[in-house]
Amino acid sequence: MDIQVALQNRRTVRLFQQEPVPDQDLAELLDAARMASCGGNKQCLRYQVIRDRGLAERVFAQTAWAALVQPKRNPQWGSTAPLNFIAVLAPVKGGTVCHADAGAAIQSMQLLAFAKGLGCCWLGAIQRDRLQEILEVPAEMQVLYLLAVGYPAEAPIAEDVPGDASVAYYLDEQQRLHVPKIRRDDLAIWK
- Under the rule (CB under 8 A), what is the footprint of a second copy? 1-4, 6-8, 10, 12, 23, 27-28, 30-32, 34-37, 39-43, 45-52, 55, 67-68, 96-97, 99-108, 110-112, 115, 122, 124, 135, 145, 158, 167-169, 179-182, 184, 187-191
Shortest distance, CB of residue 173 to a second copy, whole angstroms? 20
Shortest distance, CB of residue 166 to a second copy, whole angstroms? 10
Q: Decide whether 19 or 181 has the Cβ nearer to a second copy.
A: 181
Distance between CA atoms of 171 and 174, rounded to whole angstroms?
Answer: 8
Shortest distance, CB of residue 98 to a second copy, whole angstroms? 8
Cβ contact 39:99 at 8 Å? no
Distance between CA atoms of 104 and 42, rounded to whole angstroms?
Answer: 14
Question: Residue 18: which H helix or E strand, with range?
Answer: none
Phi, psi of 186 (to 5 degrees): -95, 0
Shortest distance, CB of residue 146 to a second copy, whole angstroms? 13
Distance between CA atoms of 57 and 184, rounded to whole angstroms?
Answer: 40
SS3 label, residue 17: coil
Q: Decide whether 44 or 81 has the Cβ nearer to a second copy.
A: 44
Q: Decide whether 81 or 144 has the Cβ nearer to a second copy.
A: 144
